[in-house]
Amino acid sequence: MTALFIILVLVFILIAIWQMVKIFDLAQAGLPENDQVATEKDNTINAYLMMGFLAFIYIITIVCIVKWGDLPLLSNSASAHGPEVDNLMIISLVLIFVVQTITQFLLHYFAFKYKGQKGRKALFFADNNTLEAIWTIIPVITLAGLIIYGLFTWTSIMNVSEDDDPIVVELYAQQFNWKARYSGADNTLGKANVRLIDIDKANILGLDESDPNAQDDIITSELHLPVGKPVLFKMRSQDVLHSAYMPHFRAQMNCVPGMVTQFGFTPTITTAEMRQNPDMIDKVKHINEIRVENSKDLVAKGEDALDAYEFDYLLLCNKICGKSHYNMQMKIIVETQEEYDAWIKEQKIFKNSLVKN
């Protein structure tokens, strides 16, 4: 694939040089021997090249869909609202594909049909109210429909009802790691401020030690979520702009220094269940085959082989936040309520985690 990319880049560079040479030649148009007026033969050749390029992009598109397409385009969402987001994306992608296919055909076909010929005169008219109305109204209606559908979808996702008694969890971003803070038995996060961070006392998130609601908060480096239980995330950033991105849950929200943002969802598939998904099994198998091949070179150099890959949900940073941005991630484990309760009981609450002076 890399070799193909390099070849394409070289081809485009050569085309650019060729075009520059043509421009230089056109600059010498005053000389009779450099006359660059297109002939009927030139126009015919270019017309057929347009149809050839049209066939090329259609063939490439079909090959890509057949070989690398993963119909129905988007799948394996693991949150209650995931199918809604996927459906909106699929509608957008299909609509764009259909419009692109039709418009590209018309563009290339009319360039072929109305190629320059001796005696042919182009028809010009200043305006056409009917055409202008058509190509204005249709996009307006289409885009308005997509935007309204998107707004309803977004509103349904963001309106987390207090009646559902969601678990409140804070996601704390800093270069270049994540921390999760659970709200404890009272399900209320204690007050926090970066100015209250005290590394010597292990108050790494700046919790207000005098706030009663902070005493039972739980700080972890791994995010555990019970399946089927709504979760409301409160997000903070210590330093720069980050973005909490959980792709399988179709969730993303910016973490902005100096303010608290939020996002909520209900996980619907446990980590164990997702690992048994046929698509995921194939993906993991493919990744491990690549790792085995890459490990051969490492072992030959006397280095350790790569570990086998096992699927896990991940919380990623989706904003370029510095030199180690690529590695800013945290594992998410979705489990049964019983497994979650057992795990949460093993964690140390904030008041017991402080280092006593």
What mean pLDDT do residues 25-46 have? 69
What is the residue range of 321's domain? 162-273+308-353
Can you give the CATH number for the domain in which 231 is found?
A: 2.60.40.420
Q: Do 261 and 226 share a structural domain?
A: yes
For 59-94, how does the pLDDT look when each residue is reduced to its tens digit (9 = 90+)?
A: 988 888 787 776 666 778 899 988 888 888 888 888
Torsion, Cα 331 257 251 78, to 10 degrees, reads 20
Q: Is the pLDDT of residue 146 over 60?
A: yes
List the single range of 38-42, 205-209, 306-310 with lowest mean pLDDT: 38-42
Q: Decide if 69 is inside a domain.
A: yes
Q: Do 88 and 46 share a structural domain?
A: yes
What mean pLDDT do residues 320-329 have? 90
Q: Which residue has the higher pLDDT, 75 or 327?
A: 327
Q: Do 138 and 215 share a structural domain?
A: no
Q: Decide if 342 is inside a domain.
A: yes
179: β partners? 172
Q: Do 110 and 184 share a structural domain?
A: no
> How confident is the model at residue 32, as a pLDDT?
53
If you average pLDDT over each of 35-39, 116-120, 267-271, which comes out highest? 267-271
What mean pLDDT do residues 219-243 have? 92
> How confident is the model at residue 223, as a pLDDT?
94
Q: Is the pLDDT of residue 170 over 90?
A: yes
Q: Do 255 and 168 share a structural domain?
A: yes
Q: Is the pLDDT of residue 191 over 80?
A: yes
Q: Do 244 and 316 share a structural domain?
A: yes
Q: Decide if 209 is inside a domain.
A: yes
> How confident is the model at residue 30, as a pLDDT?
54
Q: Is the pLDDT of residue 3 over 80?
A: no
State percent of the chain over pLDDT 90.
32
110: β partners? none
For 249-296, how does the pLDDT look when each residue is reduced to its tens digit (9 = 90+)?
A: 999 999 999 899 999 999 999 999 999 998 889 889 999 999 998 888
Q: Do 333 and 231 share a structural domain?
A: yes
Q: Do 193 and 93 share a structural domain?
A: no
State percent of the chain over pLDDT 70.
94
Where does the pLDDT of residue 234 fall: very low under 50, low under 70, confident under 90, or very high at 90 and above? Answer: very high
List the single range of 25-29, 123-127, 234-238, 297-301 with lowest mean pLDDT: 25-29
What mean pLDDT do residues 161-177 have? 87
Q: Decide if 298 is inside a domain.
A: no
Count how many domains the chain has.
2
Q: Note if the bond before 267 is cis, omega within 30 degrees.
A: no
Where does the pLDDT of residue 153 fall: very low under 50, low under 70, confident under 90, or very high at 90 and above? Answer: confident
Task: From 107, 138, 159, give the residue that closes a domain.
Answer: 159
For 206-217, how does the pLDDT look when each residue is reduced to its tens digit (9 = 90+)?
A: 888 888 888 889
Q: Do 321 and 199 share a structural domain?
A: yes
Q: Do 204 and 335 share a structural domain?
A: yes
Q: Do 213 and 191 share a structural domain?
A: yes
Q: Tokens standing for 256?
A: 């902005």
Q: Decide if 65 is inside a domain.
A: yes
Q: Decide if 35 is inside a domain.
A: no
Q: Do 336 and 238 share a structural domain?
A: yes
Share the mean pLDDT of the chain.
86
Q: Decide if 100 is inside a domain.
A: yes
Where does the pLDDT of residue 202 fall: very low under 50, low under 70, confident under 90, or very high at 90 and above? Answer: confident
What mean pLDDT do residues 195-223 have? 87
Q: Decide if 11 is inside a domain.
A: no
Distance, in Å, from the CA atom of 94 to the CA atom of 117, rounded to the nearest integer, reads 38
79: β partners? 267
Interstrand relation of 313-317 and 167-174 (parallel, antiparallel or unpaired): unpaired
